[in-house]
A = this chain, B = another copy of it.
Amino acid sequence: MYAVEVRDHIMIAHSFKGEMFGPAQQLHGATFVVDVAFFRENLSANDVVVDIGRATDTLKEILKPLNYKNLDELPQFKGKQTTTETLSHYVFDQMVDALKNGVLGEESNGVSRIRVTLHESHVARAWFEGPVERA
């Protein structure tokens, strides 16, 4: 299995609902350093997993609507908890959509799995990994 992983980051505000979150129920924030890994069994005709330039640009586009925002006020997260876990899944879903819509180009056609990791500090991170299901 081959993989390629690219990195970007966002700086956001948010808060959580539920006693379990303790002080994180207050409005606070985070820098999320975001890694997206693309997996596939065999390489493309050009011997790559993805066009790394397109993968990087697509990640930036996906993160843009979140960057420098208070996630509590964004419609796509209304009524939802924006934990590091759910945000990992959110970026995963967006990247799968981009992949299916051809935004990453022909080179990425064989990508079969994606993993999105959000590093929230030097001592904690979360990720979501799943298959890219095609019709």
User: What residue in chain B is nearest A32 (Cβ atoms)?
Assistant: B31
Total interface residues on A, CB under 8 Å, equals: 62
Q: How many copies does the complex hold?
A: 6
What residues of chain B lie closer than 8 Å to A4, measured between beta carbons? 84-85, 124-126
Q: Is A86 interfacial (CB-CB < 8 Å)?
A: yes
A93 contacts B by Cβ under 8 Å: no
- Contact at B128–A13, with CB atoms within 8 Å? no
Q: Which residues of A contact B (CB under 8 A)?
A: 1-9, 11-14, 16, 18, 20-24, 26-33, 43, 46-49, 51-53, 56, 67-70, 80-81, 83-86, 88-89, 105, 107, 120-130
| 8 new A-B contacts at CB < 8 Å, known A26-B70, A31-B121, A46-B81 | A11-B29, A20-B107, A26-B69, A29-B29, A29-B30, A31-B31, A47-B81, A52-B124
